[in-house]
Amino acid sequence: MNNTYIRLFSPILIIFLLTGCLYPESELSKNKEPNNSQLEKVQSAVDQYHEQTDGLLPIKTKDSDTPIFQKYLIDFQALKEQNIMTEIPGTAYENGGIYQYTIMTPEDDPRVKLIDLRISDAIREVAVKLNVYRNEHIYPPFGKEIAEGIFQIDHEKLGLDSQPYVVSPYSQENLPIVMDTEGNLYVDYRIDLNRALDEYEHDFAEGDDIRYLLAENTPFVPAYSLPYTIRDGEPVFQLSSS
């Protein structure tokens, strides 16, 4: 059983270590904030590439089971090879920034959005401690069950002083890092989703994935998230969704 958990977790840890979360320590201040003009420039470049290549997109190859908001990362080299872009945005990880540029809804209406790599970094730190723990124990350090199949992390077992969290790119609030039954780590975006349901007009109904409310109305996608839907006006986990 112990070896089974280790086998399940090792690929996840490798993904965290290789998806750009180890961004350079010496970031320039100009690379720390999302820049609307850079975002618009990349959107224009993606649109031009899409037109020039008969509907293709400049994206990096990812496994089919990659989470939807992390699946279509922009390949800036492809844009440079087409002579569409000569410089990578200063906010991009590839140029020393702390954001990955990604594409949302690529089939219907490709739109450029951002992944805040500080979230990746925070999750990676917990993942490293979790991996050490699982090398010595059969089960992950489950804390309180906050929804069916979703748990807080018993932070004391990982040697942490408090519940782990990430800083929201939407509200700057502290968002909890939670765990599923297999010990996979996610960000709990219910704080931000609650606000978004009140702030933005929408026609979401129970069963719909309301994460798109955040992605549609802000520069950021909710990376490392589980699906959520709406029930009685409140955001709830929807684990049956893909």
pLDDT digits (tens, 9 = 90+) for 96-133: 999 999 999 999 999 999 999 999 999 999 999 999 99
> Which pLDDT score is estimated for 6?
46
- Does pLDDT of 18 surpass 80? no
- Does pLDDT of 2 surpass 90? no
- Does pLDDT of 5 surpass 50? no
Locate the domains of the chain by residue range. 13-117, 139-237
Q: Do residues 241 and 202 lie in contact, with contact meaning Cβ atoms separated by under 8 Å? A: no
- Does pLDDT of 21 surpass 70? no
Among the ranges given (18-32, 57-71, 166-180, 194-208), the one the predictor scored with the smallest mean pLDDT: 18-32
> Which pLDDT score is estimated for 125?
97
The chain-wide mean pLDDT, for the chain, equals 89
Q: Do residues 164 and 176 lie in contact, with contact meaning Cβ atoms separated by under 8 Å? A: yes
Name the pLDDT band for 23 (thresholds 50, 70, 90): very low
Cα–Cα distance for residue pair 212/207, rounded to 1 Å: 13
Q: How far apart are the first and last CA of the chain?
A: 27
Give the residue among 41, 70, 40, 72 at the shortest CA–CA distance from 56: 72
- Which secondary-structure segment (H or E) carries 230? strand 228-231
Count CA atoms within 13 Å of residue 144 on its CB side: 3
pLDDT digits (tens, 9 = 90+) for 123-149: 999 999 999 999 999 899 999 999 999
> Which pLDDT score is estimated for 199?
96
Sign of the C-alpha dihedral computed for residues 212, 218, 223 and 226 taken in this order? negative
- Does pLDDT of 38 surpass 80? yes
> Which pLDDT score is estimated for 75?
98
Sign of the C-alpha dihedral computed for residues 226, 230, 236 and 239 taken in this order? negative
Q: Is 46 helix (H, G, I), strand (E, B) or coil?
A: helix
Among the ranges given (28-37, 125-134, 149-158), the one the predictor scored with the smallest mean pLDDT: 28-37
pLDDT digits (tens, 9 = 90+) for 170-216: 999 999 999 999 999 999 999 999 999 999 999 999 999 999 999 99
DSSP state of 92: B
Q: Percent of the chain having pLDDT more than 70?
A: 85
- Does pLDDT of 14 surpass 60? no
Unique residue bearing structure tokens 């700057």: 172
The predicted model gives 78-97 an average pLDDT of: 95
